[in-house]
Structure 1
Amino acid sequence: MSGAHATLLNRLAAAIVALHPGRIIRVAIDGVDGAGKTTLADAVAPLVAAQGRPTIRASVDDFHQPRALRYARGRHSPDGFYLDSYDYDSFRTLLLDPLSQGGSGRYAAKRFDLDNDRPFDLVMQQAEPASALIIDGIFLHRSGLRSYWDLSIFLKVDFEISVPRGAQRGPSSDVADAASNQRYVDGQKRYLGECDPERRADIVIGYNDLRGPIILKWVGSAHPSS
């Protein structure tokens, strides 16, 4: 890990620890596929916990729709990828609503097993007071979700960088304009155009170079002093 990356992680952890210390908070880490969201969230969460704030790690990827629904508009449909990938009703009712102000605090962090195309057996847990829920995933600044975030982070990465990164996880092509990637790239372009996560996020990080991240925006409630 580079010094610049370690500095970024420590700054993010400090912001999360300091934010609304008397209640549960919800932190979103958004970005295109392959941006580095999961890795960043996994690195920040233990730093937050080490400073005494309980953490809950979750990913929207554990709230997928069944395969038949995801591909109902066609196997290669960008609209299907954007509109039909996730079960947002379950995402809200099982995870986000219980951890909102006035919520029960009793939540489930996982709903659907993507690899086996079947629901998980629900494991209900009780959040500790003043926990920080740290969620990674795509499309987190879409309408119906963005009002939940006490703090939102967007990782800005060019598709020419993110697609090869994502290809390292599986058999997909590492070329952004390959036909096999158009469902995903064009679906995410629709999201970027309609929802403008770079404008809506509290923090925007240029993440083309994982060793040299660049803070492009850091405003409002993202400041540790707020």
Structure 2
Amino acid sequence: MQVRPLTPQRLVAEIVDHLDAWTGTWCRMAIDGAPAAGTAEFADDLVDPLRERGREAVRVSTRDYLRPASLRLEHGHRDPDSFYTGWFDLDGLRREVLDPLADGGSGLVLPALWDPAADRSPRRERIRLPERGVVLVDGPLLLGAGLPFDRTVHLELPEAALQRLTPDEQQWTLPAYRRYAAEVDPRLLAGTVVRTDRPGRPAVIDALS
């Protein structure tokens, strides 16, 4: 395995360079990983540097694309298999975020589809992403589902670190991440894989063998 340590600032700059090299009308970026890996924070860190390059950025999180509680919690509040297969509305994410940014799309992005606390639509307005814009989608279990992303990053936590950093109330999700690693192996699908088990000291995995 070839691992290349970077500062957080250099990692952000490297990913922004990759995004800025995209020549399509829009760029659809996935930041995949468990919440404990810091996917939301990393996606947020990309916004201002992209705008400094003249690329508008819109943030979307899968936590705002959950399915209704009647479907999501059909097998209980802490069923890891349901979490793996049925919590996230990936069809909605494709329809409302990714397909509108395909070639010839409308450019209109819905930043949130469902409010899990109220268990209803948040009634958010669509955002028109200008040309050269980037949508940054963060969340778990994003790879291997056939979603049309143009750039992908997987933030990896080794098993021991994932268990240590996951809050007690979310420990029940760990079997889903083990299944994801075994069945999908996001390291093989992501354009960039970053180890995040050492806070403030990320490392890019340039080769797995």
TM-score (norm 2): 0.89
The structural deviation recorded for 1:74 is 2.9
Tell me if structure 1 keeps the 8 A contact 2:7–2:201: yes
Q: How does 1:166-181 map to 2 (within 5 A)?
A: 166-167=166-167, 172-173=168-169, 181=171
Tell me if structure 1 keeps the 8 A contact 2:144–2:189: no
The structural deviation recorded for 1:14 is 1.4
Q: How does 1:39-58 map to 2 (within 5 A)?
A: 39-58=41-60
- 1:8 is matched with 11
Tell me if structure 2 keeps the 8 A contact 1:62–1:110: yes
1:79 maps onto 2:81 in alignment: yes
Flag as ranges the 4+ runs of structure 1 deviating above 3 A. Answer: 162-166
Q: Aligned pair count?
A: 202
Match of 2:116 among 114, 117, 122: 114
% identical equivalent positions: 27
1:38 maps onto 2:27 in alignment: no
The alignment partner of 2:51 has SS state of helix
Q: Distance in 1 between matches of 2:20 and 2:133?
A: 9
The alignment partner of 2:194 has SS state of strand
- 2:3 is matched with none
- 1:68 is matched with 70
Q: Distance in 1 between matches of 2:17 and 2:49?
A: 9
The structural deviation recorded for 1:164 is 4.4
Q: Which amino acid aligns with 1:13?
A: V
The alignment partner of 2:171 has SS state of helix
Q: Which amino acid aligns with 1:91?
A: L
CA deviation string 1:72-131 (max 9, x = no partner): 123332111111111122111111110111211122111011222221113122110111
Q: Distance in 1 between matches of 2:43 and 2:109?
A: 19
The structural deviation recorded for 1:163 is 4.2
Structure 1, gaps ≥5 residues long: 174-179, 219-226
Tell me if structure 1 keeps the 8 A contact 2:98–2:149: no
Q: Which amino acid aligns with 2:158?
A: D
The structural deviation recorded for 1:217 is 2.6
The structural deviation recorded for 1:158 is 2.3
Structure 2, gaps ≥5 residues long: 1-5
Q: How does 1:12-31 map to 2 (within 5 A)?
A: 12-20=15-23, 22-31=24-33
Q: Which amino acid aligns with 1:30?
A: D
Of residues 129-138 and 72-81 in structure 1, the stretch that sits farther from structure 2 once superposed is: 72-81
- Tell me: higher relative CO, structure 1 or 2? Use CA pairs within 8 A at least 6 residues apart: 2
- 1:142 is matched with 144
The structural deviation recorded for 1:206 is 0.9
Of residues 100-109 and 132-141 in structure 1, the stretch that sits farther from structure 2 once superposed is: 100-109
Cα RMSD between the aligned structures?
Answer: 1.8
- 2:206 is matched with 217
Q: Distance in 2 between matches of 1:162 and 1:34?
A: 7
Q: Distance in 2 between matches of 1:79 and 1:153?
A: 24
Measured at CA, do residues 106 and 197 of structure 1 come closer, stay the same or move farther in structure 2, by a change above 3 Å? same
Q: Distance in 2 between matches of 1:39 and 1:107?
A: 21
Q: Distance in 1 between matches of 2:102 and 2:163?
A: 34
- 1:158 is matched with 158
Q: Distance in 1 between matches of 2:38 and 2:125?
A: 27
The alignment partner of 1:58 has SS state of strand
The alignment partner of 1:109 has SS state of coil
Tell me if structure 2 keeps the 8 A contact 1:73–1:80: yes
TM-score (norm 1): 0.83
